[in-house]
């Protein structure tokens, strides 16, 4: 079946502009996660959605970052007033609530110039 998809695959933006990154999780998966991976760095947790519960936003690095999940499915990660340090690969993952494994998408490579 279809895996986690993300769009766009690549995004180049100018410093100060806003960007939106999209994640389509696997159908039926109630849990959705955003991570980011900066060049040469490990993966860093950003935010977690589970069903209708309040999201766990504890990993968001600043108030310029926000995310929403509409209808319990598609999620959008928004970065306002982008900075060069926001350049990274942004990865989305989904899982069923009781599953131990998370399924990752291919990521969106964001470059802020």
- Candidates 96, 90, 110; CA nearest to 32 is 96
Q: Which is nearer to another protein, 10 or 80 (CB)?
A: 10
106 token code pair? 């291919």
Contacts of another protein in 20-59 (CB under 8 A) = 31, 33, 35, 42-45, 48, 50, 56, 59
User: C-beta of 60: minimal distance to another protein in Å?
Assistant: 12
87 CB-near residues (< 8 Å, 6+ apart): 38, 39, 110, 111, 112
Q: Which is nearer to another protein, 53 or 62 (CB)?
A: 53
Q: Per-residue string for binding with another protein, 81-100, x by CB under 8 A? A: ----------x-x-x-xxxx
Separation CA 53–CA 55 (nearest Å): 6
Separation CA 2–CA 53 (nearest Å): 25
Q: Which is nearer to another protein, 13 or 102 (CB)?
A: 102
Q: Which is nearer to another protein, 14 or 101 (CB)?
A: 101
Separation CA 25–CA 33 (nearest Å): 9
Positions that interact with another protein (CB under 8 A): 4, 31, 33, 35, 42-45, 48, 50, 56, 59, 91, 93, 95, 97-107
């Amino acid at each position: 079946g279809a895996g986690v998809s993300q769009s766009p695959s690549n995004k180049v933006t100018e410093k100060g502009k806003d960007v939106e990154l999209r994640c389509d999780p696997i159908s039926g998966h109630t849990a959705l996660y955003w991570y980011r991976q900066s060049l040469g760095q490990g993966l860093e947790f950003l935010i977690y959605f589970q069903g209708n519960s309040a999201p766990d936003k504890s990993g968001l690095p600043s108030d310029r970052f926000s995310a929403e999940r509409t209808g319990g499915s598609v999620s959008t990660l928004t970065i306002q007033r982008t900075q060069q340090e926001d350049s990274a690969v942004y990865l989305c993952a989904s899982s069923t609530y009781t599953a131990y494994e998370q399924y990752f998408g291919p990521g969106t490579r964001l470059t802020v110039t």
